[in-house]
Chain A
Amino acid sequence: MLLIHCPYCEEERPELEFRHAGEAHIARPENIAEISDEAFQRYFFIRANPKGVTFERWRHIHGCGRFFNAARDTVSDRFLMTYKAGEPKPDLGEAGGNQ
């Protein structure tokens, strides 16, 4: 079973306690009533879905209940790191490559 480090519980927990919650770092436009339908579509529906390292939101739903962000490799399913919600997107550097 995959072990995921929860930044709020400060330890690794089994994946059964977690739920995936979509792509991370998607900023809601501040002028959402004024943007065009196409711009809204890009914000609301269009996701990058890359092969390789991706930044995602996860929720420790059967634990502390908190949302946090994770960098995960979609090829190897390896979690590179997790960090608290609200913290800036980390620079993974070399670790960000496919391994």
Chain B
Amino acid sequence: MAETARRMSALEGRAYEGSGIALTPTAPASRLSLRAPEASLSALSKALGLTLPRKPKTTAADGGRAALWLGPDEWLIIDEKGADLAALCAKVSALHSAVDISHRNTAVLVAGARAEDVLGAGCPQDLSPARFPVGAASRTVFGKAEIVLWRTGEEAFRIECWRSFSDYVFSLLEKAAREA
């Protein structure tokens, strides 16, 4: 009998649901670390089918693909359908750097009425809707790990973290979620 290798997510089998909070690891997605100067943005936006956001802490999302502003010349592109993002950017001749980081990161969805409180256990940013509205995203810290936090809904966040940090991040989230 031939044995076949099976791809396992770093957070395989981990999930938590409590009152007002649900922690769900996401399915694999493709991700790109994109760095480019201002002059290249229109060509890259066209290739990716998204207008790369230019304002701090903002995102652009359309049909399972999203671009998150991380810095003045840096974006995190996520495609939940697994499209080959690096190949899309390879067709662009304007100056840019596109690094495929699909397997470096993993993500956890934090949803529910207590989502802000649970994230507050490790994230020092002001996550109130006035300062961190739906669609806002930022690189920040959660406990001792660096994360990218993206508010996808009134009561829904997506945490992107390095897969080697994911056990720590999920454990800390779960601990915070268990505290009533």
Inter-chain contact A10/B56, CB cutoff 8 Å = yes
Inter-chain contact A8/B71, CB cutoff 8 Å = yes
A52 to B22, CA, bound (A): 49
Q: State which of B6-14, B96-104, B138-146 sits at the interface with chain A.
A: B138-146
Query: Is A78 positioned at the interface, with any CB of B under 8 Å from its CB?
Result: no
Inter-chain contact A9/B141, CB cutoff 8 Å = no
Query: Is A96 positioned at the interface, with any CB of B under 8 Å from its CB?
Result: no
A9-B57 in contact given A17-B141, A64-B70 (Cβ < 8 Å):
yes
Q: How far is the CB of B177 from chain A (nearest CB, A)?
A: 21
Query: Is B72 positioned at the interface, with any CB of A under 8 Å from its CB?
Result: yes
A65-B140 in contact given A1-B124, A8-B56, A17-B124 (Cβ < 8 Å):
no
Inter-chain contact A11/B72, CB cutoff 8 Å = no
A17-B71 in contact given A10-B56, A64-B56 (Cβ < 8 Å):
no
* Interface secondary structure of B, over-half rule: strand
8 A Cβ contacts from A36-95 to B:
62-66
Query: Is B125 positioned at the interface, with any CB of A under 8 Å from its CB?
Result: yes
A65 to B139, CA, bound (A): 9
Query: Is A35 positioned at the interface, with any CB of B under 8 Å from its CB?
Result: no
A8 to B70, CA, bound (A): 11
Find chain A residues with CB under 8 A from B72 CB.
8, 64, 66
8 A Cβ contacts from B95-145 to A:
124-125, 131, 138-141
- Chain B residue nearest to A6 in the complex (CB): B56
Q: How far is the CB of B95 from chain A (nearest CB, A)?
A: 19
Find chain A residues with CB under 8 A from B155 CB.
none
Query: Is B154 positioned at the interface, with any CB of A under 8 Å from its CB?
Result: no
A16 to B143, CA, bound (A): 10
Partner of B138, one of A1, A16, A63, A66: A63
Inter-chain contact A64/B141, CB cutoff 8 Å = no
Partner of A11, one of B57, B70, B74, B146: B57
A63 to B72, CA, bound (A): 11
Find chain B residues with CB under 8 A from A1 CB.
124
A66 to B73, CA, bound (A): 10
Query: Is A5 positioned at the interface, with any CB of B under 8 Å from its CB?
Result: no
Inter-chain contact B74/A14, CB cutoff 8 Å = no
Q: What 9 new A-B contacts, CB under 8 Å, besides A16-B124, A63-B140?
A: A9-B56, A10-B56, A17-B140, A63-B71, A63-B138, A63-B139, A64-B71, A65-B139, A66-B71
* CB-defined A-B contacts under 8 Å, sample of 7: A9-B56, A10-B56, A11-B56, A11-B131, A17-B141, A65-B70, A66-B72
Which residues on B are within 8 Å of A, measured CB to CB? 56-57, 70-72, 74, 124-125, 131, 138-141, 146
